[in-house]
Structure 1
Amino acid sequence: MKHIHIIGIGGTFMGGVAAIAKEAGFKVSGCDAKMYPPMSTQLEALGIGVHEGFDAAQLDEFPADVYVIGNVAKRGMDVVEAVLNRGLPYISGPQWLAENVLHGRWVLGVAGTHGKTTTASMLAWVLEYAGLAPGFLIGGVPQNFSVSARLPQTPKLDPNSRSPFFVIEADEYDTAFFDKRSKFVHYRPRTAILNNLEFDHADIFPDLAAIQTQFHHLVRTVPSGGLIVANGREEALHETIDKGCWTPIEWFGNQAGWQIGEADENGSFDVFFKGEKAGRVEWDLLGEHNRLNALAVIAAARHAGVDVQTACEALGKFQNVKRRMEIKGTVGGITVYDDFAHHPTAIATTVAGLRQKVGSARILAVLEPRSNTMKLGTMAAALPESLKEADLVFCYAGGVDWDVAAALAPLGSKLHVGKDFDAFIAEIVKNAQVGDQILVMSNGGFGGIHDKLLAALK
């Protein structure tokens, strides 16, 4: 049994790699600095030992055949320097996955600035519902599956084989300290969804053009016998594809391809392809972003052999991903939500989706600017506009170097900024009223704020 030790095992991607490696028969261990759900609970359930910290001593405790290094690992970390100085074998997570899992499979990659996790979860579920039993690795936990990653399973119609399909969330973030290409260039998808494209990850990309270059590298890897499903409303994607494309394209969101009809009060809608009605999705997910995600999924699943009607039926039974408008609890008529939104566009979309759901009820938006881009303050100027539909805004400024209060000053009296965590929670509770919707947005654990709010509201 080969042993892999994963440096940076607590991230959603590397935690997924760990789960797949364990399922494939590898001995798996790993290390990270901080762990929080859902990955901490998933690794614990799998019986994967996690060492806390990036010290060099762990290399003697975990003498692995290869060290799989995540992009959280940097030069200067004791464990990284020791791996290099001792000449130990190492590889990036995306390359390990490509060589040990994805090779020879029909990979369906979901790329884009926003919505990758939800869209990949939808796609994996549609293939599962159709009996195709795909493998997947997703940056969150799809509630239809309860795990973030697995190997391909046995298809319904062919009990003596393994499914060829593998759905992966194709992230544009860099691969590792020794490989600065985007992760997704390793995956070589046969079906690629390009959901949207905006400037993000200011810590590694200087501008939008740099991200477009990486997306163009992804486009270059899709075979001519494959399919690219692209958002026709995104000018940045049109520009990227215009750099060169050798693969058939199906656009969604515009008249050239897949379109959404008028949504009813529950969010259900008709699906059109090239002007003709192709099906109807009956569900209760809100927001046009989710309807566009569904279009992309229907097109990609069709390429894998799933008819449109079956895809629509499956979407009607889709359960949203954990940490995507997830209700954590209701106390005294006050509901607390958890959402992963951390980019101004995603924040605006999330608030708008909740507004559509709750009508005139007050929305208390609670934001932690935790992502690398947010910590740099690159998107600070766009935050007030993204939060304008909230009735009150609470922004936690702990660990942030830029002036949060000044940047969000256009929000006026509805803005509350705090650096002391306990006082910050107390301020939210003091302002909360019966019927309020408290929307917590962060791409991290946010100090367990959801449970602390629910406890304080009792």
Structure 2
Amino acid sequence: MTSELNYKLSDLAKLKIHFIGVGGAGMSGIARIMLAKGFSVSGSDKSDSAMLTALKALGAKIYVGHSAGNLEDAQLVIVSSAITESNPELVEANKKGLPIAARAVALAWLMSESTSVAVAGTHGKTTTTAMLTVALQSAGLDPSFAIGGTINTAGVNAHSGSGSIFVAEADESDGSFLAYKPTGAIITNVELDHVDHFADEEAVFAVFEDFISSIKEGGFLVACGDDSGVKTLLARIKRSDLKVYLYGKGSNNDFRIDQINLAPNSSRAIITVTGRKVGELNLAVVGEHNLLNALAAFAAATAMGGSEEKLLSGLKAFTGTRRRFELKGEVGGVKVIDDYGHHPTEITVTLKAARNLAGTGRVIVIFQPHRYSRTAAFANQFASSLELADFTYLLEVYAASEKPISGVSSLLIARQMNSEQVKFEPSMLQVVSDVVGMAKSGDLILTLGAGDVSSLGDPILQALASRFA
């Protein structure tokens, strides 16, 4: 990457900007915002997708496949973290001496002239960012936003708003969120993940400490006061200029929820702020974790001047984001749900919500571990969390960008589970056949993981339709 790049929006408006790997959630969002601002945008990705079609319709020049010729007369190159040094477009950009920026740096440029909020944390970032966005929209503040997932009601993951606020999901996985330098931030929780990048828990605390240091002077921080990792992190912070707002269930928090009611298809709680009852938080999404996510969004939105009544109304209308406990369909009384959860903590809260929704029915999971390094580090915890399901099918590990690690496969998890509750089956076709064959009315089938396991939802529904025809 080219060091010390610092563009104002007026500078970017004069350039021809090319994205390498434009089809990903983060990259496509930045491209979408730049197009909305009238910038000249081109981009490429290895395969075609609905995301590329949408960008093309917005005016981007799109290439399917990577080739040095795709750069044409580009003056600035933005590259996805998934792109390798051998990519022909990146090689050509370096050969031409073009300025090259990482995705996070490009997003920081877009945020730089706004009142910005970065939503960070090991879990819950996407949902909390989406909730904050929808709440601010309900309050009439029309924020710009860039999210790692698609908001169900809006059908998009990014938008250039007319208001002065910019909301961004801040991913800690490679430390790139230090580029944002936001006005305020949310930290939902802190624990070890992304073991391909962080050697240990101390490395995670260090990068979050740097993140807090990057918040602008006089800014604010909303953090979960119930989370042990957050408590450890805050004890290390020396800044006195930050306004810190704690949220959670405990009495130590500024923003609290109590009288919690978790229904199969909704969630409800009472919000109090420093002892003052604000009102009832009603959500159309399930789980106590989502009540906490919504409370974080509410706290941050009030810190930016949002009307409490309008914020609660917006949160009530929130229906979720794609791949976060997303109902794909129901056939013959069997629900099929897809979720992105790929860490033991995420799986635990997701399965608790699934169990509540299924009631007396069974919860049948198809889990695809994500990355060999994560599977090796958390095999015990995966086994423990998956035992909350009635039965689990384990697909083979989704490698992402990693090379295999000797001795590491999904069998590491399977061997630590009750053999009557698990089956290791690397064939997706066989898993679809097996799960459809065992499903009964009232059951809930959950596809779980950050890889391509999400593609099984439609085949399962089609097979269920044939079976119950």
TM exceeding 0.5: yes
Which of 240, 244, 252 does residue 247 from structure 2 map onto? Answer: 252
Instruction: Give CA deviations for 1:94-135 in whole Å, capped at 9, x if unaligned.
Output: 212222x21221001110011111001110111100101111
- Residues 262, 288 of structure 2: 8 Å contact kept: no
Match of 1:191 in 2: 184
Match of 1:98 in 2: 108
Q: Which residues in structure 2 correspond to 1:333-372 (within 5 Å)?
A: 333-371=333-371
Higher mean C-alpha displacement, 346-355 vs 412-421? 412-421
Q: Which residues in structure 2 correspond to 1:169-180 (within 5 Å)?
A: 169-174=169-174
| Secondary structure of the structure 1 residue equivalent to 2:424 | strand
Match of 1:12 in 2: 25
Instruction: Give CA deviations for 1:373-412 in whole Å, capped at 9, x if unaligned.
Output: 54x5322221111112211101111656523224222232
Match of 1:297 in 2: 297
Q: Alpha carbons of 1:51 and 1:203: their partners in 2 closer, same or farther (altered >3 Å)?
A: farther
Instruction: Give CA deviations for 1:19-62 in whole Å, capped at 9, x if unaligned.
Output: 1111111222222235656x456435535444334443433xx4
Corresponding letter in the other structure for 2:58: L
Deviation beyond 6 Å, 4+ runs, structure 1? none
- Residues 124, 136 of structure 1: 8 Å contact kept: yes
Cα distance in 1, alignment partners of residues 358 and 296 from structure 2: 27
Q: Alpha carbons of 1:42 and 1:360: their partners in 2 closer, same or farther (altered >3 Å)?
A: farther
Identity of aligned residues (%): 31
Instruction: Give CA deviations for 1:256-305 in whole Å, capped at 9, x if unaligned.
Output: 22111122253211012223322211233221111111111111011110
1:206, CA displacement in angstroms? 0.9
Answering whether residue 400 of structure 2 is matched by residue 403 of structure 1, we say no
Instruction: Give CA deviations for 1:311-369 in whole Å, capped at 9, x if unaligned.
Output: 22221111111211111112222211111111111111111111112212111111111
Which of 63, 70, 79 does residue 69 from structure 1 map onto? Answer: 79
Cα distance in 1, alignment partners of residues 235 and 216 from structure 2: 17
Which of 441, 457, 468 does residue 434 from structure 1 map onto? Answer: 441
Cα distance in 1, alignment partners of residues 454 and 154 from structure 2: 26
| Secondary structure of the structure 1 residue equivalent to 2:261 | coil
Higher mean C-alpha displacement, 303-312 vs 78-87? 78-87
Match of 2:424 in 1: 417
Cα distance in 1, alignment partners of residues 226 and 155 from structure 2: 33
Cα distance in 1, alignment partners of residues 373 and 136 from structure 2: 34
Cα distance in 2, alignment partners of residues 447 and 255 from structure 1: 39
Match of 2:385 in 1: 386
Match of 1:158 in 2: none
| Secondary structure of the structure 2 residue equivalent to 1:448 | helix
Q: Alpha carbons of 1:371 and 1:41: their partners in 2 closer, same or farther (altered >3 Å)?
A: farther
- Residues 395, 417 of structure 1: 8 Å contact kept: yes
Q: Which residues in structure 2 correspond to 1:40-59 (within 5 Å)?
A: 40=52, 42-43=54-55, 45-46=57-58, 48-59=60-71
Match of 2:258 in 1: 261
Cα distance in 2, alignment partners of residues 348 and 454 from structure 1: 25
Answering whether residue 38 of structure 2 is matched by residue 28 of structure 1, we say no
- Residues 12, 139 of structure 1: 8 Å contact kept: yes
Corresponding letter in the other structure for 1:249: V
Q: Alpha carbons of 1:391 and 1:216: their partners in 2 closer, same or farther (altered >3 Å)?
A: same
Corresponding letter in the other structure for 2:448: M
| Secondary structure of the structure 1 residue equivalent to 2:445 | strand
Cα distance in 1, alignment partners of residues 338 and 95 from structure 2: 43
Q: Which residues in structure 2 correspond to 1:191-210 (within 5 Å)?
A: 191-210=184-203
Cα distance in 1, alignment partners of residues 197 and 412 from structure 2: 26
- Residues 16, 74 of structure 2: 8 Å contact kept: yes
The number of residues matched between the two structures is 437
1:136, CA displacement in angstroms? 0.4
Match of 2:123 in 1: 114
Cα distance in 1, alignment partners of residues 173 and 184 from structure 2: 20
Give the root-mean-square deviation of aligned CA atoms.
Answer: 2.0
Q: Alpha carbons of 1:265 and 1:88: their partners in 2 closer, same or farther (altered >3 Å)?
A: closer
Cα distance in 2, alignment partners of residues 201 and 227 from structure 1: 27
Return the TM-score normalized by structure 1.
0.90
Higher mean C-alpha displacement, 27-36 vs 309-318? 27-36
Return the TM-score normalized by structure 2.
0.88
Cα distance in 2, alignment partners of residues 166 and 231 from structure 1: 22
Cα distance in 2, alignment partners of residues 232 and 19 from structure 1: 35
1:18, CA displacement in angstroms? 1.2
Higher mean C-alpha displacement, 263-272 vs 190-199? 263-272
Higher mean C-alpha displacement, 106-115 vs 88-97? 88-97
Q: Which residues in structure 2 correspond to 1:127-276 (within 5 Å)?
A: 127-153=136-162, 163-174=163-174, 182-244=175-237, 245-246=239-240, 247-253=242-248, 254-256=250-252, 257-266=254-263, 267-276=267-276
Q: Alpha carbons of 1:445 and 1:44: their partners in 2 closer, same or farther (altered >3 Å)?
A: farther
Cα distance in 2, alignment partners of residues 190 and 258 from structure 1: 20
Corresponding letter in the other structure for 1:252: Y
1:426, CA displacement in angstroms? 1.6
Q: Alpha carbons of 1:26 and 1:353: their partners in 2 closer, same or farther (altered >3 Å)?
A: same
Corresponding letter in the other structure for 2:193: D
